[in-house]
Amino acid sequence: MTTQTQLKVRLSDHGSTLMAFLAAHLQLSNHKAKALLDARRVFVNGQRVWMARHRLDPGDHVEIQEGWVAGPVVSRDVVLYAKGDYLIANKPPGLLANGPQSLESGLRRLLGNPALTAVHRLDRDTSGCLLFAQKSEAEALIKPLFVQHRIRKMYHAIVSGHVSEREQEITHPIDHRSARTLVRTLDANRLASHLWIELETGRTHQIRRHLVAIGHPLLGDQQYATRREVSSQERAVRRQMLHAYELAFRHPVTSEPVHARAPLPEDFAACLRKFGLT
């Protein structure tokens, strides 16, 4: 459950740091106030701010999004494809791809396979198709396909603002390396746009960074969609609206097609409705 707290900076608060202001007005320790900032759930005058030493002025409006969504339980329902060497699962939002308390660890326990390994990554907030190797030999065989761009990865995204181009190719370099993202606009209005995206390369946070580069950040992106005023409607979006809808490739040994699609999660569909998109 998410709650929102609205605070106004008074004359007596002039010069206070944001962390000190939060600690005083929410009756928190500095450690807990800093945790709120680190979670990027604090807005000042509509802009997301996470710097503890940010100085406040009288009249500033501070909004705190509180509350956390419990991590989803891993069940067999998340398995979209499981045959031979590979498994494709529908990662719920809010769950890490690998590591402790992740989709990988949950599936290992559920399926009784300690060798199961995620062979690529999705951000915690990103939902959808995630590929796993069922054994170490299969992991070694699949990795060259990622390097050779022989695995198709398609996404749905909801971004801020009206994307007028029907189709476009984004080629801004990322970390001084070439990067290519193909984008098709499915629906758009003045508030937001629904995009279909295909990755040609796989740089770190490529989709998020390319969308910021064209001036249309993902709704709910807490890392890259900064330095701009965010509407109250956007601030209510709990996670970045990115869903890995489809993954396809040919088995590296048998050439058998491997393919899966993950239906849009309810929160993504609800966000489309909220912003009047199809």
Q: What is the mean pLDDT of residues 241-252?
A: 98
Indicate the pairing of strand 47-48 with strand 3-8.
Answer: unpaired
Q: What is the pLDDT of residue 101?
A: 83
Q: Which fold has domain 3-66?
A: 3.10.290
CA gap 147, 198 in Å, rounded: 16
Count CB atoms within 10 A of the CB of residue 200: 16
Residue 174: strand pairing partners: 177
Q: Letter for the amino acid at 102?
A: S
pLDDT tops 70 at residue 66: no
Q: What is the pLDDT of residue 36?
A: 86
- Helix axis angle for 18-26 and 30-38, nearest 10°, is 120
**Helix (H), strand (E), coil (C) string for 121-160:** CCCCCCEEEEEEECCHHHHHHHHHHHHCCCCEEEEEEEEE
Q: What is the pLDDT of residue 268?
A: 97
Boundaries of every domain in the chain: 3-66, 76-274
Residue 89: strand pairing partners: 79, 130
Higher-confidence position of 256 and 70: 256
Q: What is the pLDDT of residue 226?
A: 67
Angle formed at CA 5 by CA 96 and CA 28, multiple of 5 degrees: 75
Higher-confidence position of 155 and 1: 155
Q: Both tokens of residue 121?
A: 């990554």
Q: What is the mean pLDDT of residues 39-50?
A: 89
90-142 pLDDT per residue, tens? 999 989 999 888 999 999 999 999 999 999 999 999 999 999 999 999 999 99
Residue 168: strand pairing partners: 183
Q: Both tokens of residue 88?
A: 């494709």
Helix (H) or strand (E) holding 103: helix 103-111
Where do we find the tokens 């701010």? 49
pLDDT tops 60 at residue 161: yes
Q: pTM value? A: 0.77
Q: Does the annotation mark 123 as catalytic?
A: yes
Position 69 confidence tier, pLDDT thresholds 50, 70, 90: very low
pLDDT tops 70 at residue 188: yes
Q: What is the mean pLDDT of residues 3-25?
A: 88
Position 3 confidence tier, pLDDT thresholds 50, 70, 90: low
CA gap 47, 229 in Å, rounded: 5
Contacts for 80 with CB less than 8 Å, ≥ 6 apart: 88, 89, 90, 129, 260, 261, 262
CA gap 190, 166 in Å, rounded: 15
Q: What is the pLDDT of residue 119?
A: 96
Instruction: Return the minimum-mean-pLDDT range out of 30-44, 73-87, 114-128, 191-205.
Output: 30-44
| SS3 label, residue 63 | strand
Q: What is the mean pLDDT of residues 32-59?
A: 90
Architecture field, domain 76-274: 2-Layer Sandwich (3.30)
Greatest mean pLDDT among 27-41, 51-65, 221-235 = 51-65
pLDDT tops 90 at residue 60: yes
Out of 13, 60, 85, 123, pick the active-site residue. Answer: 123
